[in-house]
Amino acid sequence: MEDVGTVRFNDDEIKALRNYLLKGGFLWVDDFWGSYAWERWVEQIGLVLPPHQYPIVDVTLDEPIMHTLHDVKRMPQVPAISFWYRSGGRTSSADPTAQVVTFKGFTTRRAG
């Protein structure tokens, strides 16, 4: 999913995505342009998987998923191609919170 900082799940989508993820489904999301977009995503995905049961955690370079298909050695900033062209090759917006690259995921075990 991209541009998830603008997502708003309806009840059917919440239920379907929860069922998919709890059965072992994988979801990759990106395109957060600053803290507002991230906060919006956390709010919406929290409706799918309650954060007190499934906290979002940092995924570091030493995690197995970072070496399963490809050997990921650094976390690159990947811009939208249109921004990259318009900005002369920059990889991030002027918003300083959008310049920090992080990978995050849900824990595989329920908290508590």
29-39 tens-digit pLDDT: 877 777 888 89
- pLDDT score of 80 more than 90: no
3-56: per-residue pLDDT in tens? 888 899 999 999 999 999 999 888 888 777 778 888 999 999 999 999 999 999
Q: Is 3 left (phi over 0), alpha (psi -120 to 50) or beta?
A: left
Query: Please, are residues 32 and 103 in contact by the beta-carbon 8 Å criterion?
Result: no
Three-state DSSP class for residue 12: helix
Query: Please, are residues 43 and 56 in contact by the beta-carbon 8 Å criterion?
Result: no
Query: What is the structure's pLDDT at 50?
Result: 92
Q: Read off φ and ψ for residue 34, nearest 5 degrees.
A: 105, 175
Instruction: Using alpha carbons, list the distances in angstroms from residue 61 to 24, 40, 69, 79, 103.
Output: 22, 26, 13, 20, 9
Residue boundaries of the structural domains of the chain: 4-106
